[in-house]
């Protein structure tokens, strides 16, 4: 995200908006890790094969973490503490894409591994 931001936001001076870039990178890291928790929960099958909403505590903790991240990004007192900056819709779209793509790739890899294990077990039986 940090290296792609100058290309995405059409600026070649990342030091000019360093707080925005750091906020984008930090928020991408937070969101990707939150979404990645679903990959660990459903390691033997893909996240789309099982009920994502079946674990209320996981979903509540993810929702709470997202609210805390939004507070860090938008509340002035927390912006000073964490040295963050407010983000616009373009920043958020890049953050969401950058957070979702790795999760989907890992999900695809888990699906392939699961299918191979299933085939191997059938061959052994």
- Answer yes or no: are the C-beta atoms of 46 and 107 closer than 8 Å: yes
- Of 101, 76, 96, 102, give the one whose Cα is nearest residue 19: 76
Q: How far is CA 123 from CA 44, 61, 111, 113, 120, in A?
A: 19, 41, 18, 15, 5
What span, in angstroms and rounded, lies between the C-alpha atoms of 80 and 84? 7
- Of 123, 122, 117, 124, give the one whose Cα is nearest residue 44: 117
Along the 125 residues of the chain, how does pLDDT read in single tens digits? 767 766 666 655 555 677 888 899 999 999 999 988 887 776 666 666 666 777 889 899 999 999 999 999 999 999 999 999 999 898 898 899 999 998 888 888 888 888 888 888 888 77
């Amino acid at each position: 995200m940090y290296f792609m931001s100058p290309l995405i936001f059409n600026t070649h001076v990342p030091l000019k908006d360093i707080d925005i870039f750091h906020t984008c990178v930090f928020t991408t890291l937070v969101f990707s890790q939150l979404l990645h928790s679903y990959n660990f929960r459903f390691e033997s099958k893909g996240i789309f094969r099982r009920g994502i909403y079946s674990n209320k505590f996981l979903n509540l903790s993810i929702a709470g973490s997202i609210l805390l991240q939004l507070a860090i990004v938008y509340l002035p007192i927390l912006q000073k503490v964490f040295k963050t900056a407010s983000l616009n819709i373009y920043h958020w779209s890049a953050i969401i894409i950058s957070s979702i793509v790795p999760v989907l790739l890992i999900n695809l890899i888990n699906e392939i591994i699961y299918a191979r294990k299933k085939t191997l077990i059938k061959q052994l039986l």
